[in-house]
Amino acid sequence: MKSGAYHRLFATLLALLFIPVILTGCGSVANQKTGLFAKADTSNVAVSVADKVSSSVVAVITRGKSEKEPSHGGMEESLGSGIVFRPDGFIITNAHVITDPDNTFVGFSDGTELKAKVIGTDTFSDIAIIKVDKKNLPVPTYGESKSVKAGQTAIAIGNPFGFENTVTEGIISATRRSIPGGAPSLTNMLQTDAAISPGNSGGALANKDGKIIGIATAFIPPQSGAVSLGFAIPVDVAKRVGNQLIDTGKATHAFLGLTPETLTSETAGKLNVPVNQGAVVKDVVADGPADKAGLKTNDVIVKMDGLPVRTADDVFGVVNGHAPEDEVEMIFFRGADQKTVTVTLGERTSG
């Protein structure tokens, strides 16, 4: 990757990781022109999905002067991917792909390239919306996160290193994943073994029916000892944030109002709880949603939304999958007593 802007943007995050994680946008490229995706034997799942989705996947390009050789007036190009979001020119991509809002372009599979206007970016969810002056764009079918299960087929389509409409096939390895060492916002992710590389960021992750189920965003590189560890933002989050950015220019995020910590066996013994997995409430925001629902310090959360809570990241993951004002059922232990409450989520005011 040659993009200096990309490295500056994510150096802080990556420096904190015990396992290096690479957000997949901005592969530096030579301009590759492969033309329209060719139709083939649609009895093959990957071929069928690519035939449905590939025309909706675009290249998101940033051009600017090279920081390595500014005296030579050199130019560099960084590349990510995007997906048509609405037919009247709106494209969804990753926020980290937009390294220079004033010099962002969209390349289509027919070779057309248009200047893009950045409508809004949301760094918390890593979602951005850009717009081009082009009508009747092919919008793919967007699915629902609740239908995504570990083990199902997953097809990634994007522009790794400028190889446009690259298709890779795998499965959903897991759901509700947290990117190792990442921020609380980098939770509730889809994990896939479909190959994801630099330049795939903002590209499509689709199911066997050609429905978009995620937006590719990161991978753990092979040099870390990883094998096919890629991550995508769930489609429900992408749709919610994308629509908000178009409608208001900003996105809202749910707020629970507590600080969780992963339960250890030592802490479980001290708190006299009959479980060895969960999230301990370390702090509760006064008058916040959790406080109003009756949660207290040292409560141990074991289930939210009907899903098991094994770590603190599971709490963040459930909350990040919701919008403000959504209701979430929580089951927790206070000592040996099990309790159930319904929390109405608030809205994050920062971060």
Which residue numbers are catalytic? 96, 126, 201
Q: How many helices (H) and strands (E) does the chain have?
A: 6, 23
Give 111's Cβ-side CA count (13 Å radius): 3
Asked if 302 and 332 touch (Cβ cutoff 8 Å), the reply is yes
**Chain mean position to CA 280:** 26
| DSSP 8-state symbol, 142 | B
- Give CA–CA dist 276/270, Å, rounded: 12
Joined tokens for residue 243? 């629509």
Of 326, 319, 277, 325, which is closest to residue 301 (Cα–Cα)? Answer: 277
**Residue 125 tokens, joined:** 């969810």
- For 226, the 3-state DSSP assignment is coil
Greatest Cα pair distance in the chain: 70
Of 63, 55, 156, 160, the residue nearest 111 (C-alpha): 55
DSSP annotation of 7 = H
Q: Which residue has tokens 């004002």?
A: 325
Residues in a beta bridge with 117? 131
Q: Which amino acid is at 211?
A: K
| Cβ atoms 237, 122 nearer than 8 A | no
3-state SS track over 172-213: EEEEEECCCCCCCCCCCEEEECCCCCCCCCCCEEECCCCCEE
Transcribe 141-170 into DSSP letters.
PB--GGG--TTSEEEEEE-GGG-TTEEEEE
